[in-house]
Amino acid sequence: MLSKYDALIYCMVLTSAADEQVSDTELEWIRSLIASLPVFRDYDASTMNQTAADCLAMLDDEDGIDLIMTQVKQALPERLRETAYALCVEVAAADLHASEEELNLLQIIRQKLELDRLICAGIERGARARFAIA
């Protein structure tokens, strides 16, 4: 069973790996989010690398995404599901380009976590505003 922290990290790592490569920019962004957000206040950040490796190992399974999302949904209290989605959007935007694979994965995450489409659209719009290039 995943902890709520593991579940949030699995979501971010899954998003990063959607295009079959986990970029250094995305990993640094994940570390930055863990270090700065209140939701991770009680999390031991020294375990992040192992948590990420565990998630990536699950992706090797034929049904990896479904297995991960089932565990994530079980581990996350409903009040943190929108947070999980927001973290995924942040990671997708970290390299200033969301690939088609990342966008497809975001849709899967929305569906698996049973999130309201309008709320997700607001989260996505906020990310576009934060990551806009002047």
Torsion of the alpha carbons at 119, 124, 129 and 134, rounded to the nearest 10 = -170
Q: What is the pLDDT of residues 19-73, one digit of tens each?
A: 888 888 888 999 999 999 999 999 999 999 999 999 999 999 889 999 999 999 9
Domain count, the chain: 1
**In terms of Cα–Cα distance, which of 119, 87, 127 is closest to 105?**
87
Q: What is the pLDDT of residues 78-122, one digit of tens each?
A: 999 999 999 999 999 887 878 889 999 999 999 999 999 999 999
CATH number at residue 12: 1.10.3680
Structural domain of 22: 4-130
d(C-alpha 71, C-alpha 15), whole Å: 15
pLDDT number for residue 104: 94
d(C-alpha 86, C-alpha 119), whole Å: 10
The reported pTM is 0.93
Which residues lie below 8 Å from residue 3, measured CB to CB, with a gap of 6+? 75
